[in-house]
Structure 1
Amino acid sequence: MHEMGIAMEIADIATASIPEDMQGAKVRRINLQVGKLSAIVADSLRFCFDLVVKNTPLEGAELAIEEVPVVARCKDCQNRWTVKEAVFTCPSCRSGAVDLLSGRELDIQSIEIEDED
């Protein structure tokens, strides 16, 4: 389960993002974008994250995951579409020459910090 390693990295990044002058603050929410092709199971990632952040400033933080669809563009006719099946041919011209525009992301979009005061 590679989600554990990913959860550990997210926790490290979020912890490091707490400003020096806010060391008593808690992280309230971490907003992620995860592509459908990233092979990450959202529920497993949340479970692992909850284990990793026990007894840290991140404990209780919400891991908000936005799933990013697979979007492709045909190199021949420039058609752009959302891939719904494991078929990577252009629905317009049937070309197999495609670029993937999205779907492989694993990005922290924002980290919401709440000051204790």
Structure 2
Amino acid sequence: MHELSLAENIRDLIVERAATEGFRKVEAVWLEVGALSCVEPDAMTFSFAAVMADTPAQDARLEIISVPGEGQCRQCRHRWQVRELYDCCPECGNFGMDVVQGKDVRVKSLAVI
């Protein structure tokens, strides 16, 4: 379950930012999760709540923003919305694709006090 290690990384980022920016409490975290990142939203929510105890983000609300996957065919350069990493190009049928978006997990913003 890599959601736990992702949540721990988010926790570390929040603790570091709280120390440098001087906020004492996080009310909400907006997290962009790519459709191709293999992150399960329910597991992420559970992991987030578990690792935020005794941090400025304890009891913070996690808002997950889904980012669709997008690929570009290496052969014909067609771009399309990708559901699986190994989808073939709907235009030419080629299986060589570069992921343009949708693999990342990123903290978009925090609501702090």
Report the TM range for the smaller structure's normalisation: 0.7 to 0.9
Task: Tell which structure's C-alpha radius of gyration is larger.
Answer: 1
Displacement, 1:19? Answer: 5.2
Structure 1: distance between partners of 2:20 and 2:100: 37
Residue equivalent to 2:63: 64
Structure 2 segments unaligned to the other structure (5+ residues): none
TM-score by length of 2: 0.85
Residue equivalent to 1:73: 72
1:80-95 → structure 2 map (5 Å cutoff)? 80-84=79-83, 87-95=86-94
- Residues paired across the two proteins, number: 113
- Asked if structure 2 preserves the Cα contact closer than 8 Å seen for 1:18 and 1:113, the reply is no
Equivalent residue letter for 1:47: F
2:54 is the alignment partner of 1:55: yes
2:31 is the alignment partner of 1:27: no
Structure 1: distance between partners of 2:77 and 2:99: 12
**CA distances 1:65-108 after superposition (whole Å, capped 9, x unpaired):** 11221111112222111023565211111122221111210111
Residue equivalent to 1:4: 4
Structure 1 segments unaligned to the other structure (5+ residues): none
TM-score by length of 1: 0.83
Residue equivalent to 1:18: 18
Q: Which secondary structure does the structure 1 equivalent of 2:98 belong to?
A: strand
Displacement, 1:16? Answer: 1.2
Structure 2: distance between partners of 1:20 and 1:73: 40
Root-mean-square deviation (Å): 1.9
**CA distances 1:9-32 after superposition (whole Å, capped 9, x unpaired):** 111101211254635x21111111
